[in-house]
Amino acid sequence: MTIQWFPGHMAKARREVSEKLKFVDIVFELVDARLPLSSRNPMMDQIIQQKPRLVLLNKADLADPHQTKLWQGYFQEKGFVTLAINAQDNKGVKNIVPSAKIALKEKIERDRARGLKPRAIRAMVIGIPNVGKSTLMNRLVGKKIAQTGNKPGVTKGQQWLRSGTELELLDTPGILWPKFEDPEIGKRLALTGAIKDQLIHLDDMALYGLDFFARYYPGRLSERYQLTQEQEKELAPELLMTISQKRGFREDYDRASEMIVFEIRSGKLGSYTLDRYEEYDK
């Protein structure tokens, strides 16, 4: 599966973010905890460079907790402070400011030594589409979005949003989909719903999901769809047909595929992580 992007649009978004970086203290990089690498724009490191960063693994409630810990270790080894959150249910969001202060420890101490008065942390949230940026922004600023006005030296019209007294967010353009060659990344993004269903074949995604769960989470399919051990060992196409029959869809494999994909996305088959740390480590 190939996702297309347009260099002109990518260049524009990159330029806008680069211009706004100088106005913030820290970048909140938002990724999907189920695919911490596949949901990152590979150009992010080049764009952000040495700016302090807090990596937020969103939708952690849907991800394999063991894998999430391993991936947090991966980002920490790269020098980033990390935090697992679920913006939809507001879980972990209250820990963002304390974590940001850890990432900004040197700057805070430097400002204190210079006798500067403490002020709110200025941050921007960056992430590929559909990773939960809007939900997180709404959680941070609350229902009533307060505009704090233009800051000195900030280009006119740039919008700052206040989150309590300790955090101000700079409204930024979304970073578009990255260009990548690995079709596996496209499948992972599609299975989690990061790509519009109109652009994919749900039966392909159902087969991919069935194969993945049979391989990495044996027993989950048997438990969910009342399969025997032998049935769970079937190849994905035969498995799809078996589940379709058991759920009363008969030969309507499109409906069965839609159901399977929905249940994977919503966590009906349990928490899971598509980016396997042990495979990356090898």
User: Cβ distance 65 to 89 under 8 Å?
Assistant: no
User: Cβ distance 227 to 242 under 8 Å?
Assistant: yes
CA distances (Å), origin 256, targets 42, 240, 244: 34, 7, 5
Measured CA to CA, the distance from residue 33 to residue 84 in angstroms comes to 8
Which two tokens mark 169? 């967010």
Task: Dihedral sign for Cα 223, 228, 232, 237, please.
Answer: negative
Quick one: the chain helix, strand, coil %, rounded to 5?
50, 10, 40
Give CA 130 to chain center in angstroms. 8
- Annotated binding-site residue numbers: 58-61, 130-135, 174
β-strand pairing of 53-58 with 81-84: parallel
Give the E-state strand segments of the chain in sequence order: 26-32, 53-58, 81-84, 121-126, 146-147, 160-163, 167-170
CA distances (Å), origin 172, targets 127, 143, 163, 251: 10, 19, 16, 47
User: Cβ distance 31 to 83 under 8 Å?
Assistant: no
Q: If we measure between CA atoms, which residue out of 281, 280, 274 comes closest to residue 32?
A: 274
- Annotated binding-site residue numbers for GTP: 58-61, 130-135, 174
Which two tokens mark 201? 């074949």
